Structure 1
Amino acid sequence: MIIYKCRFSGDEMLSDAFKPVPVKDEDGNEVPGLIQIQSQKVSKDTGGSIDIGCGNEFGGGDDEGADSGAELVNNVVDETFGFDLHEIPMGKKDIKEYLQLYCKNLRAKLKEDDKVTGPEVKAFTQAAPAFCKWILSKYDDMQFFTSSSMDPDGSMAFAYYEDVDPLFVFIKAGLIEEKC
């Protein structure tokens, strides 16, 4: 399994168990530098995914096994089943300032890292304007999450909805892959 950790704080942000995929814009083009994962609601007691009902309307099973008293949590955000992410309120000006400072600091951090090649730093630098523009364009539909240490300079997760459960977006260069 691969755990993706914040390059600044070392906090775990996601894992390959969530099958990260590139982010696509409205036209189906890949937004360079971003990855996303799909979340779901799970039972706090068992960690099992929950059928939201509607019988077999969406190809699922019947409703008989659903426990109406089960506490539901998001499997990315929850501290037990996920990565203990914390939602933080941010105005559009705040997120713009965060992205500017974060990208500047991340570029410097990438340059310091012996494992990161010059072309990788250049690719990040070229991708940053496009992914920042995409994040800002989705601002009205997004929620913002920080890692468990709540490091204001660390990586964030950006969540938005296309369906029942949110998609979580991450700036890929801000994450370090660690095999475990």
Structure 2
Amino acid sequence: MLVYQDLLTGDELLSDSFPYKEMENGMLWEVEGKWVVQGAISVDIGANPSAEGGCDDEVDDQAVKVVDIVDTFRLQEQPAFDKKQFVTFMKRYIKLLTPKLDGEKQILFKKHIEGATKFLLSKLRDLQFFVGESMHDDGSVVLAYYKEGATDPTFLYFAYALKEVKC
């Protein structure tokens, strides 16, 4: 299994069990999330609750709906950015990430990050913002939005900020 860690914080943000599609010249990875139900599981073993002394009101239903990616990687939702805040974030993020990349990746990153930023700015009103478990200020942001008519969120990752780790 492969896990993708944030190059800046070491937080686990994704794994190979969630297939991705490259976008914006490989700058972004698009990953489909799913709403799932977690919690109490009702198992019918064929027993008669009234004969066993059980009662339906004693059932503790702890089921809750979560988004698989958010839950699996313990992503923490952050307040949304306005345009000015997002541009400020991206400038800082680019400064922090660029020195961590090797020569070839650094050149490609500098060449294509502006296009990816413009793409994200065009969707800014629809985006949700998440950070890794450590909630570190200098970490990568994972973005989510709902495609038109979709009931499950789509996540966007900065591909160059992910480090592949074999588990």
- Range class of TM-score, shorter chain: 0.7 to 0.9
Give the Cα separation in 2 of the matches to 1:69 and 1:154: 32
> Does residue 117 of structure 2 align to residue 132 of structure 1?
yes
The TM-score with structure 2 as length reference comes to: 0.81
Bigger Rg, structure 1 or 2:
2
Looking at structure 2, the residues matched to 121 and 148 of structure 1 have their Cα atoms a distance apart, in angstroms, of: 26
**Alignment partner, residue 9 of structure 2:** 9
Cα drift, residue 123 of structure 1: 0.7
In the other structure, the counterpart of 2:32 is: 38
Q: Does 1:70 align with 2:63?
A: yes
What residue ranges of structure 1 are gaps of 5+ in the alignment?
24-29, 48-67, 111-115
Per the alignment, residue 20 of structure 2 pairs with 20
TM-score (structure 1 length as normaliser): 0.75
Count of paired positions: 145
CA separation of 1:18 and 1:46: change in aligned 2, threshold 3 A: farther
Displacement over 4 Å in runs of 4+: none
- Residue matched to 2:97: 106
The correspondence of residues 86-101 of structure 1 with structure 2, limited to 5 A, is 86-89=76-79, 90-101=81-92
Show the counterpart of 1:121. 106
Q: Gapped runs of 5+ residues in structure 2?
A: 42-60
Amino acid at match of 1:42: V
Tell me, in whole angstroms, the C-alpha distance in 2 between the residues paired with 1:31 and 1:77.
25
Greater helix percent: which structure?
2
Q: Deviations over 1:59-104 (max 9, x none)?
A: xxxxxxxxx98311110111xxx11111111222211111111012
Instruction: Give yes or no for contact 2:40–2:62 (8 Å, CA) kept in 1.
Output: no
Tell me how large the CA RMSD over aligned residues is. Answer: 1.8
Give deviations 1:13-46, integer Å, cap 9, x for gaps: 01110101113xxxxxx44311011110112127
| Matches of 1:92 and 1:176, distance apart in 2 | 28
| AA matched with 2:70 | V
Which structure exhibits the higher relative contact order, with contacts defined as CA atoms closer than 8 Å and separated by 6 or more residues? 2
> 1:46/1:157 Cα in 2 relative to 1: closer, same or farther (>3 Å)?
farther
Find the aligned partners of 1:34 and 1:83 in 2 and give their Cα distance. 18
Query: Against the structure 1 CA distance between its residues 46 and 19, is the aligned structure 2 distance closer, same or farther, given a 3 Å change threshold?
Result: farther
Contact 1:31–1:134 (CA under 8 A) maintained in structure 2 = no
In structure 2, distance between residues paired with 1:45 and 1:34: 33
Q: Following the alignment from structure 2 to structure 1, what is the Cα–Cα distance between the partners of residues 121 and 19?
A: 24
* 3-state SS in 2 of match to 1:121: helix
